[in-house]
Amino acid sequence: MPALDRDDIAHLARLSRLQLTDSELDQYGGQLDVILSAVARVAEVAADDVPPTTHAVPVVNVARPDVIVPCLAREDVLAGAPAAEDDRFRVPRILDQEEQ
């Protein structure tokens, strides 16, 4: 991979809408060259017989399937509540709104 020159770095900065000083162009140019070299090394190692993957190990769903099971009776549930009204839990009002 050919190294990026100063004009390439300035062009990338313009595309990114960055205003860089001359010293920043030199600094970021060196850093970008290191990054591109690392990417090139990875590309050299990648083998054509290895399929691309998103994870190093297979990922499987560990959640159990949904199964319908009987639930508690409403009376039993409300019997354990501190307060109940109209077959529902009664909770203290937390908002200062008028009932509609």
Handedness of CA 7, 10, 15, 16 (dihedral sign): positive
Confidence at 24, pLDDT banded by 50, 70, 90: very high
Averaged pLDDT of the chain: 86
pLDDT beyond 60 at 88: yes
Confidence at 1, pLDDT banded by 50, 70, 90: low
Confidence at 89, pLDDT banded by 50, 70, 90: very high
Domain boundaries, the chain: 6-45
CA–CA separation, 82 vs 91, rounded Å?
A: 9
pTM over 0.75: no
Q: Does domain 6-45 have CATH number 1.10.20?
A: yes
Residue 80 has φ and ψ, to the nearest 5°, of: -90, 0
pLDDT beyond 60 at 83: yes
